Each structure stands twice: as structure tokens, then as C-alpha cells.
Amino acid sequence: MNKDVQSNDRQPMQMGCLALLVRITWMIFGNLVLILTAFSIALRKAGMVLDIVFWTAAAGLILVRYLDITVFGGFTKDFEPATLKDWRLYSLMLLAASGVLWLLAHGAALVL
């Protein structure tokens, strides 16, 4: 009787194109921009402009993840509904990792 309802509860949520683009942005594209920008910083290309691009990308990732959770019903890696607590943890971890990556890139620029 409730078999159909129970089987539908286990199926992944359908997401629109915009929600998918938002998720791909914070999961893949944004991180790729950070890595490539850090690599360019290490090669001493464009100076302070790349620092601005790097930190703008990091801030943009935090904003996109926030939108994913609050507007598009984002979820965690375990496919549970994401909360603002998850967003705060993501933000802190991203800022810490970005800081380390930025310092490594500038350290490499001094050595190369």
C-alpha cells in the first residue's frame, strides 16, 4: 500500500540545470580556478592581480555553496540535506585550505 511512497523516498532528488551547475561550480570548477591561479602565482605571473583573483574565487565558492544550500536544497556527501552548519564547516575548511595553498604558491614563487 505505502510501498510506492517508500520506494520514492530512497530515490535521488531531481535537480534542475541551474542547481546542477551550482553544484558542479563549488565542487569542481571553483577548486580548479583556485589551483590554476595558485600555480600561476607560483610562476610569478601578473602579481597582485592573481592574488585578487584567487581570494575572489575562494569567496565566490563560499557564496555559491551558500546558495546551493539555501536556494537549491543542496546536500552533503552522504546525500543528506545540507544545513548552514555544513556551510560553516565548508567555509572554514575552504578558507584554511586556500590559505595554505596561497602561502605555498607564494613560497614557490620565491624559490622558482
For the stretch 59-81, pLDDT in tens is: 999 999 999 999 999 999 898 99
For the stretch 20-72, pLDDT in tens is: 999 999 999 999 999 999 999 999 887 899 999 999 999 999 999 999 999 99
86 in any annotated domain: yes
87 in any annotated domain: yes
4 in any annotated domain: no
10 in any annotated domain: no
8 in any annotated domain: no
What is the pLDDT at residue 24? 94
Distance between CA atoms of 12 and 21, rounded to whole angstroms?
A: 17
Give this prediction's pTM: 0.83
84 in any annotated domain: yes
Buried b (16+ CB within 10 A) or exposed e, 76-108: eeeeeebeeebbeebbeebeeebeebbeebeee
47 in any annotated domain: yes
What is the pLDDT at residue 44? 87
Domain that holds residue 41: 27-111
Is the pLDDT at 6 greater than 70, yes or no?
no
Total structural domains in the chain? 1
18 in any annotated domain: no
